[in-house]
Structure 1
Amino acid sequence: MEITETVHRRPAEERTRDTLERLTAERDVWVSTAHPEHGPHQVPLWFVWDGRAVWMCTGAGSATVRNVRAESRVRLSLPDTFDVVLIQGEAECFPDQEVPEAAARAFADKFGWDPRGEEGSFVYVRVAPRTVRAWRGEPELRERVVMREGMWVTQTQTQAS
């Protein structure tokens, strides 16, 4: 497959805006976890972005939940290999009956499915980003970090001025 579109380098503000739009609009994210004894695990899950964190939901007995409970550092990626968004952060588990109502409602509203009403146990996983990298093609590789230490780079630049 040949890419004929010309790629321009977006400024950090535009990459941040585009990333936030995708986090709001996309429905699937790849979740990468690891366990000291069982090794790495990667799975696609539905997600909701609440403006500060990514919320996902999966079975209470899943490898994702087992891994997050053993090692909270995770990596998430949106499913596009040209318009890349990678998120590194800390994950926290919330049993389905203890999840904050706003997160559960946002998830149910987006997907038309409320795991809290299902048989079996589910766990909501919240990931607060610490680092976000976003780039489209080689021209943006050098300045791909749009969030560092939980702060959007454009906010850091504004506060430093």
Structure 2
Amino acid sequence: MSRPTTATPPRTSAERRADVLQALAGERHVWLATAGAEGPHLVPLAFAWDGTDVIMMTKRGNRTVTNLRRTGRARAALGTARDVVLIDGPVTLAEPADLPDRVRALFGRLPLNPDQVPGVIALCLRPERVSAWRDLSEIPARTVMSGGHWLD
């Protein structure tokens, strides 16, 4: 059996970075993966991108928060199987009222808006490593951010 060929040439790192930033600005949901004593945990969460962090809200007593209190790290995934973006990094738990005004201005984009839904806590994922690819040709250079710095 022959391998499928790529219809388009691989994107440059700069093109993938631009596409990642566009997805962060335009998408509304990520899959957030955490790990705890009970094993891996994966949930969809609405998010807003403030230019630095992926901001999500969730109920403070759920398993995601328990896992993050234990490890402080998560992986977020967005896109499709044909346009993948994976974001790894530390997650800070914060009281919504303690966040800067520029972040609070984004709350209206979230279903769990803390101004309307009591008992939520903010999850602030700071990208440390970002990978992005569309097909096999992009896999070798899929890392577009490492150590919190864009590679282009």
- Fold-level similarity (TM above 0.5): yes
Q: Distance in 2 between matches of 1:62 and 1:131?
A: 26
CA 75–139 in structure 1, closer or farther in 2 if over 3 Å, else same? same
Q: Which residue of 2 aligns with 1:118?
A: 117
CA RMSD of aligned residues (A): 1.9
Q: Distance in 1 between matches of 2:70 and 2:63?
A: 11
Structure-2-length-normalised TM-score: 0.90
2:132 to 131, 134, 140: 134
Q: Distance in 2 between matches of 1:63 and 1:99?
A: 23
CA 92–74 in structure 1, closer or farther in 2 if over 3 Å, else same? same
Percent of residue pairs identical: 36
Moved over 6 A (4+): none
Gaps of 5+ in 2: none
1:1-161 map, 5 Å:
6-35=7-36, 37-108=37-108, 110-111=109-110, 114-119=113-118, 121-154=119-152
Q: Distance in 2 between matches of 1:25 and 1:4?
A: 30
Structure 1 residues 117-143: Cα deviation after superposition (integer angstroms, max 9, x where no partner)? 324x10010010110000011010000
Q: Which residue of 2 aligns with 1:158?
A: none
1:91–1:128 CA contact under 8 A, matched in 2: yes
Q: Distance in 2 between matches of 1:27 and 1:107?
A: 12
Structure 1 residues 44-73: Cα deviation after superposition (integer angstroms, max 9, x where no partner)? 000111111100000011111111111111
User: What secondary structure, in the 3-state scheme, does the structure 1 residue paired with 2:89 have?
Assistant: strand
Structure 1 residues 26-50: Cα deviation after superposition (integer angstroms, max 9, x where no partner)? 0000000011x22211000001111
1:32–1:40 CA contact under 8 A, matched in 2: yes
Structure-1-length-normalised TM-score: 0.85
Q: Distance in 2 between matches of 1:116 and 1:25?
A: 22
Deviation at 1:97, TM superposition (A): 3.2
Q: Distance in 1 between matches of 2:103 and 2:59?
A: 17
Q: Distance in 2 between matches of 1:14 and 1:77?
A: 19
Gaps of 5+ in 1: 155-161
User: What secondary structure, in the 3-state scheme, does the structure 2 residue paired with 1:20 have?
Assistant: helix
Q: Distance in 2 between matches of 1:112 and 1:85?
A: 23
Q: Distance in 2 between matches of 1:95 and 1:67?
A: 17
